[in-house]
Amino acid sequence: MFEEPSVPREGPLRNSEPGVNWYIQSTRPEAVGDRRAVNEWYSHFLDNGTALLSRLRSTDDVNHHQAVDELLVHHLLLRGSIAVAYEESGRSPDFRLYVGGDYIGGVEVASLFMRNDWSKEESRNGKLADQLNARLPVGEWFVNFEIIRWNRSPSVRKLVSWVAKTVGELPPWDPSSGSTGLPSALYTNGAVEISFYFLPRRAGGPVGPDYRIVGISGVLGGWVNSKDRLGTVLTAKAGSRYDLRGRPFAVFVSIHDTFCDEDDLVGALYGSEQVVVATGASIRARDGIFGNSRAFPEGRNRRLSCVFAVMPGWSSRSADGLAVLRLDNPFADSPFPEGILPPARRFTEVSRDERGISFGWTACSPEPQGS
């Protein structure tokens, strides 16, 4: 699927470069390991008309990463010694699972990415960083910037010339001076306003293929809504569109949004955390995917047995030690079979009485190591 590159490339990918180039072009040891892993996974995958293959090779990052997520889940499912069918029909989940010809359940794959406006900002900042890195050598100073105003793209030639001139006029850094402030400068014209600040590089330090003059390329700011967006993604996958044949059903979500943490995952499924003012007790609001309400006294999304999740930062080469999380639906029509996707940790029921159901994390044994 991905051949070994004929031209060595040891440096990192550029900020604005499609992620698939990691598999197509990079010869770093980490890329070699990732490429070997996904090639092995795909060799066991029965692709329907090479549809997944084209997405794996896509230069669109969303398509590419979603395809890798599906290939990962297929690989993990095969470790359970079961038969796995991919997209059997127009109404089937991504994967249907069989044991001895008997259908035992389905798994749908979901992916959560960074919110769209932040992705656009990150892409814009990355392109600017790439332009500066391509035109300015690493010298005595690293360059960091933050975009304050961006009405339209500035002249790259003029901006690069200004940065080069500004860096060239910086006085030598004297660490013994006791100064804690870093030099800064503001580039402004009718198109943009960009704040630059400069970090001294260790005198005589090496300059290798990993080095770029730009260190930090902008800071993303705003309201973090990872929990709400995750809830929207999981609700869309909760099972109503699929023919589940009355069997257990799970969603496996791969989280690529680095702002999304385990608290967001729990909140999206079981409800936002609240505190009772009179007692200080912690409770959950009834705004999660799981749980019940007046409209659904017996529980919402009962077709969904559980959600499996992997947090950001995993790699293909270390997927066999991946820390998979499992979060159970207390009102599910049927539990998802044990042993199919063994989790490292599980968010499940720990007690139940007239006051309600208490859930918590439990470690599973043996516990895989994180990637």
Q: What is the pLDDT of residues 216-242, one digit of tens each?
A: 776 666 677 899 999 999 999 987 889
Residue 262 near residue 311, CB atoms below 8 Å: yes
d(CA 23, CA 27): 9
What integer pLDDT is reported at residue 371 of this predicted model? 37
* Mean per-residue pLDDT, 110-120: 89
Largest CA distance in the chain: 76
The more confidently predicted of residues 277 and 69 is 69
The CA-atom distances, in angstroms, between 138 and each of 28, 144, 298 are 21, 13, 63
Residue 119 has pLDDT above 50, yes or no: yes
Q: What is the pLDDT of residues 130-146, one digit of tens each?
A: 999 999 988 889 999 99
What integer pLDDT is reported at residue 276 of this predicted model? 65
What integer pLDDT is reported at residue 361 of this predicted model? 92
Residue 329 has pLDDT above 80, yes or no: yes
What integer pLDDT is reported at residue 349 of this predicted model? 81
Across the chain, mean pLDDT equals 88
Predicted structure pTM score: 0.86
What integer pLDDT is reported at residue 370 of this predicted model? 39
Residue 366 has pLDDT above 90, yes or no: no
What integer pLDDT is reported at residue 292 of this predicted model? 78
Residue 158 has pLDDT above 80, yes or no: yes
Q: What is the pLDDT of residues 159-213, one digit of tens each?
A: 999 999 999 999 887 776 655 678 999 999 989 999 999 998 876 566 666 678 8
* Mean per-residue pLDDT, 238-255: 93
Residue 283 has pLDDT above 80, yes or no: no
Structure-token pair, residue 284: 């959950």
